[in-house]
Amino acid sequence: MDFSEKELLEKEKKYCSYGDTVHYLEPPKFFKSCEGSYLYDREDVPFLDLQMWYSAASFGYKNERLNTALKNQIDQLPQLACQYLHSEKVELAEKIAKSVERIFGMKGRVHFNVGGAQAVEDSLKLVRQHTKKNLVFAFMGGYHGRTLGASAITSSYRYRRRFGHFSDRAQFVPYPYCYRCPYGKKYPDCKMYCVKQFEKLFETEYNGVLDTKVNESEYGAFYVESIQGTGGYVIPPAEYFPMLKEILDRHKILLVDDEIQMGFHRAGKLWGLANFGVKPDIMVFGKALTNGLNPLSGIWAREELINPKVFPAGSTHSTFSSNTLGTAVGLEVMKLCEEMDYEKVVVAKGKQFVAGLKKLMKKFPKVIGDVSGMGMAIRMEIVKPDGYAPDREFADHMFAEGMKGDLLGPGGKKMGLVLDVGGYYKNVFTIAPAFDITPKDMDLAMDLFEQLIKRCVKKYR
Ligand SMILES: Cc1ncc(COP(=O)(O)O)c(C=O)c1O
């Protein structure tokens, strides 16, 4: 039965938990279909999507090749208990492990799970097992998921406040967010003051992180996103990670690289951290691995940390881990990445997109304070008329107006714009277009942004 939107909303009000993020927007929005860079609502109004499911659908909605891989697997081996093997799982693990060999020059193994946070949990097990430490460092502004373990290493206290005591809460370290430097410095005059502050922690045992007599840290790992995702697509200066890694190595602290949002070419290279010339000890991935089709996530770890002697059968498990549908799509995604030069495409399109946004920033300096990007991980900070103070309300208005679906598209047709607001102050558009977005749609995106800004200035300022 085809229920009206009003009827569905009434049912949703009665039967659905509000604990997810649906009610960030009131009233919540329904969509009916999708294709390429577009979502279509129940009236068939097209919405240009510039966030692609927080980068989970980077290869475009209804990607024919990936959908076909899924359909074929449905016909061939749609389900199988994860205690048995199927070829796609093994082939996918090989492709990921070999990609790490090629890019970072290290041998290791892959372990699959279902969602990003679950893979983060698995990585925490590896860290604890190898280092015998429960405590880790993580970044202010970092996001690693909402399970209890992942929440403990995610910076925002809002995600923990109502859920008891987190005894293994990470020690949060300032991230090099240069546009709003946590130390009030200016890059490059700062001479990487932030890394030096971190280094100072290890100077004396009385700073609380290291027994200097035996060089043993109380902290087993540092969890990083090479470019912060939810934190607002913040890009660190080139020398940051090499300097950080040198300090971690000195004190035998593992580097865990969360590639859940930046992995699979979002920031140009297959793995985001490869942009910065350092090697991870453990890597966590998910999201675009299946282009948002059947969920699959995983970890890669150095052989020393995950070989069968130290991580034997049954060390971790979930019913749906390494599911046949997810691994089939994941394998196709990896093949696609091998065949297409995504690094080149993503870097070129990212540059074009950023150039367009910079033009807008020149036109609206009292609305847009900063624009930058790496690959197609693009950020735009919305600011107050002083040109710098974060303007969360204005960003929210732009987001909500975009979702109304009444902007003017080509030929005067009604259109919407799908955006995602992130950042420490919730004033940053984290822009993650589909990799195959056309130049025409990039121009259209600029036009829609301009319409949104003009409308919101008129209505709300
Ligand atoms: C960097 C990062 N880590 C972890 C997660 C959690 O993944 P999931 O939502 O699949 O549990 C996310 C999700 O947004 C993420 O962006």
- Say if residue 51 is in the same domain as residue 70: no
Residue by residue, DSSP assigns 70-124 as HHHHHHH-----TTS--HHHHHHHHHHHHHHHHHH---EEEEEESSHHHHHHHHH
pLDDT digits (tens, 9 = 90+) for 60-119: 999 999 999 999 999 999 999 999 999 999 999 999 999 999 999 999 999 999 999 999
Given 339, 362, 387, the domain boundary residue is: 339
Gap from CA of 146 to ligand 1 centroid (Å): 8
- Say if residue 120 is in the same domain as residue 245: yes
Closest residue (by CA) to atom 10 of ligand 1? 116
Nearest ligand 1 atom to the CA of 120 is 4
Gap from CA of 446 to ligand 1 centroid (Å): 28
Q: Residue 372 — φ and ψ, nearest 5°? A: -160, 175
Q: Do 42 and 5 meet the contact criterion of CB atoms below 8 Å apart?
A: yes
Instruction: Name the token pair of 134.
Output: 């429960």
CATH number at residue 434: 3.90.1150.10
Gap from CA of 137 to ligand 1 centroid (Å): 18
Nearest ligand 1 atom to the CA of 228 is 1
How far CA 75 is from CA of 41, 320, 412, 438, in Å, comes to 30, 18, 43, 33
pLDDT digits (tens, 9 = 90+) for 278-329: 999 999 999 999 999 999 999 999 999 999 999 999 999 999 999 999 999 9
Domain that holds residue 426: 31-62+342-460
Nearest ligand 1 atom to the CA of 230 is 16
Domain count, the chain: 2
Instruction: Name the token pair of 441.
Output: 């749609």
Instruction: Name the token pair of 259.
Output: 């590639």
- Say if residue 304 is in the same domain as residue 450: no
- Please give all residues whose beta carbon lies within 6 A of any atom in ligand 1, as ranges: 54, 115-117, 120, 143-145, 225, 229-230, 258, 260-261, 286
Given 339, 359, 394, the domain boundary residue is: 339
> In terms of residues, how long is the chain?
461
Gap from CA of 237 to ligand 1 centroid (Å): 23
- Residue 12 covered by a domain: no
Nearest ligand 1 atom to the CA of 115 is 10
Nearest ligand 1 atom to the CA of 287 is 10
- Say if residue 214 is in the same domain as residue 316: yes
Pick from 112, 225, 261 the residue to mutate for probing ligand 1's pocket: most ligand atoms within 8 Å of its CB: 261
- Say if residue 439 is in the same domain as residue 393: yes
Gap from CA of 284 to ligand 1 centroid (Å): 10
Contacts by 101-109, CB closer than 8 A, 24 or more apart: 103/269, 103/270, 103/271, 103/274, 104/271, 104/274, 104/279, 104/280, 105/279, 106/279, 106/302, 107/302, 107/303, 108/300, 108/301, 108/302, 108/303, 108/305, 108/306, 109/300, 109/301, 109/303, 109/306, 109/307
Gap from CA of 454 to ligand 1 centroid (Å): 33
- Say if residue 185 is in the same domain as residue 222: yes
Closest residue (by CA) to atom 4 of ligand 1? 144
- Residue 175 covered by a domain: yes
pLDDT tens for each residue of the chain, 461 residues long:
689 999 999 999 999 999 999 999 999 999 999 999 999 999 999 999 999 999 999 999 999 999 999 999 999 999 999 999 999 999 999 999 999 999 999 999 999 999 999 999 999 999 999 999 999 999 999 999 999 999 999 999 999 999 999 999 999 999 999 999 999 999 999 999 999 999 999 999 999 999 999 999 999 999 999 999 999 999 999 999 999 999 999 999 999 999 999 999 999 999 999 999 999 999 999 999 999 999 999 999 999 999 999 999 999 999 999 999 999 999 999 999 999 999 999 999 999 999 999 999 999 999 999 999 999 999 999 999 999 999 999 999 999 999 999 999 999 999 999 999 999 999 999 999 999 999 999 999 999 999 999 999 999 99
Pick from 258, 287, 318, 320 the residue to mutate for probing ligand 1's pocket: most ligand atoms within 8 Å of its CB: 287
